[in-house]
Amino acid sequence: MNQQTHPDKAAHRPSEAPEPQIAWTDGEGASRTAALFGDSFGGVPDGVWAAPGRVNLIGEHVDYNGGLCLPIALPHRTFVALARRDDGVVRVVSALAPSKVWSGTVADVVPGSVSSWVAYAAGPLWSLTQDGFGVGGFDAAVDSCVPLGAGLSSSAAIECAVAVALDEVYGLGQLVLGDAGRARLAAACVRAENEVAGAPTGGMDQAASMRALAGHALLLDNVDASIEQVPFDLESAGLELLVIDTRAEHALVDGQYAARRAACHAAAGRLGVATLREVDDLDAALAVLPDPVEAARVRHVVTEIARVREFTDLVRAGRVREVGPLLDASHESLRVDYEVSCAELDLAVATARAAGALGARMTGGGFGGSAIALIEAGAAASVAGAVAAAFASAGMGEPAFLAAVAGPGAGRVAQS
């Protein structure tokens, strides 16, 4: 698949500033997946669809607490060349393992029966069927320039690309409804990830991949999945957003995520609220929580939701240059109170700040994955160079970099 993200092929010469990973164009994604489709299944697909990865600007670990978050869609997308089949057969192949076509039937795509990446690729078939939509078999070939497992949501990208493809080839009529239909497709993708892939994630990733608008950040209220499109134009403010993929991998991440969710749920129960979103007097809440760890988790969630509001207000007011301290505070809260950072993320953030970033923080679930840094336009090479050098000095693996410009949500790709 994406050669730029393959560890063996990404070795930059240390003396050079690392190049950011460039997103594929429509034509590139379409020709790659159409070629894989032809090689794997013969013939041509009905079309090619794509869905983006995302990066969250602020509002981390709050989606499952009914909080607010503010992701943007990345220009980096997962592409799916797909053809409808009316015989109930489902076949999927990924450029990651082009010789291994998975083949089954519609009846095989149920929770507990499909594993590995196939659960993400075929899962929307199950959840859309559960929702009463008339979907059936298909052949699908997948390729992506979203780094996998980097906290940039390659999982939602693959689900959402398949879901929009199924919407069109089976005439489900959701995309043509606009955001209301996209919200329905996103909800189906969340259930595919939770129930078919067995990953207990919140709703942010699929909302961003499905519902984002180019040039906007998506303010998502996780109480009811309502959104507001917030114009987000860093270029006119003379700024850029640099994504630093630490490529760090840490064990026990899944257990940690579940433990954070459980702690929040337990604290909400003790406080007599449905979700921590309802806590409006933080000091009073902290005073009645006996466990200091649980109290720290609550402090992160409540203060982080407040930071999302402040950040959004500044962006709306055309004061995006002032959001840096909120990014820094978010990182500290995640590091100290939520304990989901790690040495690589802390080093990336500290080095980016020292190299001139206005603010920086880890983004995504943590324990590895990616960080973001808000930097002056044109500073990407120097900040990335500083981070790469710091990683090399610390004996850490080589990080990767992406320039994040708010791209569009999932949809059909113009054929080249």
Is 155 a binding residue for Mg ion by CB under 5 A? The answer is yes
Is 155 a binding residue for ligand ADP by CB under 6 A? The answer is yes
Is 244 a binding residue for ligand ADP by CB under 6 A? The answer is no
d(CA 230, CA 221): 13
Residues contacting ligand ADP: total by CB under 6 A? 19
d(CA 287, CA 277): 17
Residues near 371 by beta carbon (within 8 Å), at least 6 away in sequence? 243, 244, 246, 331, 345, 348, 349, 352, 360, 361, 362, 363
b or e along 31-64 (b: 16 or more beta carbons within 10 Å of the residue's beta carbon)? bbbbebbeebbeeebebbbbbbbbbbbbbbbbbb
Residues 30 and 190 sit within 8 Å (Cβ to Cβ): no
Q: Rounded to the nearest 5°, which phi and psi values hold at 42?
A: 80, 155
Specify whether 245 is catalytic: no
Q: Find which of Mg ion, ligand ADP, none residue 151 binds, CB within 5 to 8 Å per kind.
A: ligand ADP
Cβ distance to Mg ion smaller for residue 155 or 174: 155
Cβ-in-10-Å burial (0-12, 13-18, 19+) of 11 comes to exposed
Cβ distance to ligand ADP smaller for residue 116 or 226: 116
Is 153 a binding residue for ligand ADP by CB under 6 A? The answer is yes
The dihedral built from the CA positions of residue 267, 268, 269 and 271, taken in this order, carries a sign that is: positive
Check 143, 205, 245, 328 and give the catalytic one: 205
Is 94 a binding residue for ligand ADP by CB under 6 A? The answer is yes
Binding positions for ligand ADP, 120-149, rule CB under 6 A: 120, 142, 144, 148-149
Cβ distance to Mg ion smaller for residue 136 or 151: 151
Is 152 a binding residue for ligand ADP by CB under 6 A? The answer is yes
Is 401 a binding residue for ligand ADP by CB under 6 A? The answer is no
Total residue count of the chain as it appears in this document: 416
Is 246 a binding residue for ligand ADP by CB under 6 A? The answer is no
CB of 288 to ligand ADP, least distance (A): 35
Q: For ligand ADP, which stretch binds (CB under 6 A), given 63-71, 113-121, 175-183, 208-216?
A: 113-121
Q: For Mg ion, which stretch binds (CB under 5 A), given 151-159, 227-235, 359-367, 387-395?
A: 151-159
Is 363 a binding residue for Mg ion by CB under 5 A? The answer is no
Cβ distance to ligand ADP smaller for residue 18 or 123: 123
48, containing H or E segment: strand 47-56
- Binding marks (x or -) toward ligand ADP, 157..196, rule CB under 6 A? -x--------------------------------------
Residues near 138 by beta carbon (within 8 Å), at least 6 away in sequence? 82, 83, 84, 85, 90, 91, 125, 165, 166, 169
Is 363 a binding residue for ligand ADP by CB under 6 A? The answer is no
CB of 319 to ligand ADP, least distance (A): 31
Residues 57 and 360 sit within 8 Å (Cβ to Cβ): no
CB of 257 to ligand ADP, least distance (A): 10
d(CA 208, CA 67): 15
Closest CA to 232 of 61, 55, 362, 79: 55
Residues taking part in catalysis:
205
Binding residues vs ligand ADP (CB under 6 A): 1, 78, 94, 96, 116-117, 120, 142, 144, 148-155, 158, 199
